[in-house]
Amino acid sequence: MKNVLILGATSDIAQAIAKKYAAEGWSLTLAALEPGLLGPIASDLEIRGDATVQTLEFDALDFSSHRKFYESIETKPDAAICVFGYMGDQDKARTDFDEVARTIGVNFTGAVSILNIVAEDFEKRGSGAIAGVSSVAGDRGRQSNYTYGSAKAGFTAYLSGLRNRLAKSGVHVMTVKPGFVRTKMTESLELPAALTAEPVQVADVVFQGLEKKRNTVYTLWMWRWVMLVIRHIPEFIFKKMKL
């Protein structure tokens, strides 16, 4: 039985990914900051799909604990999916550097720290698949969330480099850019229905994408074109826009 490690397993996208992998017959290792939340998630997966689930505590910001965390996993994973993230408050980040440090720490440094360790193991074994959930916010900095965006831009560049490095060892790395997703992060917001995906759609895209060794996936096809347009707006116009 193959095993998938899901990092940040309590998010809605992660929960949908876990359900998808359980339904496909994989065993699961779920890691999250709040292990208390993982109890019902694990029982749910076990009842729904007769899945074998292991739960572990994982703190993305406690970088020095990451190696120990990975070593403590009994069944080493065949796939690792890095889902955790922190949206942060852009207004607060203007003046409060703790907010900036946290946003970059979770979305970039923490992700890089743990994926380096996973990559080392996969490279040694000569197999495995890694998916990192980045964001369309990293495609171009916008005033409404450029701290988060720049951390995700860094993460996207990291995943691209890691993919390049591991290609020759038979380890595949995929970048996921979900776009708007109806999750707890966006629950209270009015989102354009046509551009908003459900977590289960992201899960399908992640699973299929890794099976087919895709490099970069968006959840809804429109996003590829929306971001293409946004990336190509000339800077002298872009800087005056309210985005």
Partner 1 sequence: MRKMSDWGNYPVIDAEVFGFETPEELKTRLGSLDKVIAYGNGRSYGDASLQENMLLTRRFNKLLSFDETTGELCCQAGVMLSEILEVFVPRGWFLPVTPGTKLITVGGAIAADVHGKNHHKEGAFGQHIISMDVMRNDGSIVTCSPLENADFFNLTVGGMGLAGVILHATFRLHPIETAYIREETIRAANLAEIMDCFEASDDWTYSVAWIDCLAKGDAMGRSIMMRGEHARAAELVQHFRKGAPLNLKPGLKLGVPVTFPNFALNKLTMNAFNFAYYNKCRPGTHTRVCDYNSFFYPLDAIANWNRIYGTRGFTQYQFVIPKAAGREGMGTILSRITESGLGSFLAVLKLFGEQQSFMSFPMAGYTLALDFPISLKALELFKELDAMVADFGGRLYLAKDSRMDAEMFSKTYPNADEFKQAITMLNEGAPKFESLQSKRIGITE
Q: Which residues contribute to the site for partner 1 (CB under 8 A)?
A: 10, 12, 36-37, 40-41, 43-44, 47-48, 184, 187-190
Residue 26 CA, chain-centre distance (Å), reads: 19
CB of 12 to partner 1, least distance (A): 7
Bridge partners (DSSP) of residue 30 are 6, 55
CB of 169 to partner 1, least distance (A): 38
CA distances 199 to 14, 28, 179, 182, 234, Å, are: 8, 18, 11, 7, 33
CB of 218 to partner 1, least distance (A): 21
Quick one: how many helices (H) and strands (E) in the chain? 10, 9
With a CB cutoff of 8 Å and minimum separation 6, the contacts of 13 are: 83, 133, 178, 181, 183, 199, 202, 203
| Residue 26 vs 158, nearer CB to partner 1 | 26
CB of 48 to partner 1, least distance (A): 5
Give the burial class of 73: count Cβ atoms within 10 A of its Cβ; 0-12 exposed, 13-18 middle, 19 or more buried: middle
| Residue 34 vs 74, nearer CB to partner 1 | 34
What are the backbone angles phi and psi of residue 131, rounded to the nearest 5°?
Answer: -125, 135
With a CB cutoff of 8 Å and minimum separation 6, the contacts of 117 are: 66, 67, 70
| Residue 222 vs 233, nearer CB to partner 1 | 222
Q: Which residues carry out catalysis?
A: 148
